[in-house]
Structure formats: C-alpha cells, structure tokens
Structure 1
Amino acid sequence: MNLPYNSTTYPNYLGHATQSESSVSWESSLFPALVQTNCYKYLMFFACTMLVPKCDSHTHQRVPPCRSLCRSSKERCESVLGIVGLQWPEDTDCNQFPEDGPSVTCLLPDPDVDG
C-alpha cells in the first residue's frame, strides 16, 4: 500500500477485527469516490492509518494518527465530501487522536504532500 510502515494490528480504529473486514469497508466506503479529487492525496494516508494502523514493534500496540493528520485531511476533504453528498465519518472525530509532540507516538501528515 506504499505506507511508511510494514506492520499492522487489529482491531483497527474503525473496529474491524481482520484485514478482510477492512478491505470490504475500504471498497464500499467513501474513499474510492474521492480518488478523482485533489483531496485524495491528503485523505489516503489518514484512511490507511485508520484501516490498517501501524503496529509499534516494541510495544506491539497500534500507533494512532496525530490529530494534525486527521485535521488536515478533514479540512481538505470535508467540502469535497459534501459535494458528493457525504459527511465526514462520525467515528473519525479528530479530538480522539493525540497532539504530536516530543513524547507522543503518533503518525504525522506526509511531508511530501504539498501543504
């Protein structure tokens, strides 16, 4: 999936217990509808952190997305979702994720994506 990590753990942040359950959710969710939009490049990494969360190799715990990753994805994509008649998923409230900082382990926005 071209992610900067290669270990994941379940359940994921959407409550899916297996990878196949996540795959079905991915295929039937709003994300494929956004492939043709500019927001897709911002949403893709965030969606992956939710569906296939990184597993910390030392603690064997899932690593959450940082709040800034969630917020940047939401800011760039929420209006596009509205255009196609969709809303930002309620179970992805950005306030549930940690703020990034020196003593916090979370996944940040991709620095290669234009801000």
Structure 2
Amino acid sequence: MNMLICNMPYTATVLPEQETQDNIAVKINQLYPLVKVGCSSHLKPLLCSFFLPECVSGKPRSPCRILCEKAKSGCEPLMNKFGFTWPEDLKCTAFTTESCERVSFPL
C-alpha cells in the first residue's frame, strides 16, 4: 500500500517511535491484502491512523479503539482461517476512545 493513498483528514503526521518510513511501508504492505479483499471497511483507516498518525502537540494521536475493534471483528476470522493472528501492534485495548471523536468516517 502506498502511504499516499491514506488520504487522512489531517495535515501533520509523525512516525511512531523508533519507526522508519521503510519499516512502516513493509508493515502496511503485509496487511494490505486484507484491505484488498475487503474484510472490513474500517481496516484501511485503522492502518493509516496507526502507521501515519495525526501529530498533535508533537505527539502521535492514538488510533480510535472502536475503529480497531470493528476492523478486527471483520478481518480476524479471515486471518485465523489462514493461520494468522491479529497483529500485536494493533491490540485494540492499547488505543483510546478519545480519538474516535475526530474520526471522519462512519463507525
């Protein structure tokens, strides 16, 4: 997935700690087949908000927990079917619901 197709509704982003653009591109590309098969309309916005988070006061905004839960519920069964598990990096309980107020797509 080219990071340019994220089209997030913000203008400033910050890379997560200890990540490089190359590392992020590899991680997104590993999950992009799930976006292509359409297991959840919430997956692409989740991946973009996780790997290219909005920069707020110099810090990355946490992805929306509800968005994560919806993406996970749609895609995890398909992943499990092929022997994969939901990525530990995308553990929904690590995210907040505060950032859900700014989500610009239907939850």
For the 8 Å contact 2:43–2:71, the answer to whether it is kept is: yes
Indicate whether 1:7 and 2:5 are aligned. Answer: no
Counting only pairs closer than 5 Å after superposition, residues 36-51 of structure 1 correspond to structure 2 as 36-51=36-51
TM-score with structure 2 setting the length: 0.77
Identity %: 31
Which residues of structure 2 form unaligned runs of 5+?
none
For 1:20, the equivalent position in structure 2 comes to: 22
Deviation at 1:41, TM superposition (A): 2.4
Match of 1:108 among 97, 103, 107: 103
Counting only pairs closer than 5 Å after superposition, residues 7-86 of structure 1 correspond to structure 2 as 7-10=12-15, 12=16, 15-27=17-29, 29=30, 31-56=31-56, 59-86=57-84
Misfit runs of 4+, over 6 Å: none
Which structure's residues are more often helix, by fraction? 2
Match of 1:93 among 85, 91, 94: 91
TM-score with structure 1 setting the length: 0.73
Write the distance in 2 (CA, Å) between the matches of 1:26 and 1:35.
10
Higher Cα radius of gyration: 1
Deviation at 1:9, TM superposition (A): 0.7
Write the distance in 1 (CA, Å) between the matches of 2:18 and 2:105.
24
CA RMSD of aligned residues (A): 2.1
CA offset digits 1:16-55 (Å, max 9, x no partner): 522222112222x2x1221342224221110111111111
Write the distance in 1 (CA, Å) between the matches of 2:13 and 2:64.
17
Which residues of structure 1 form unaligned runs of 5+?
none
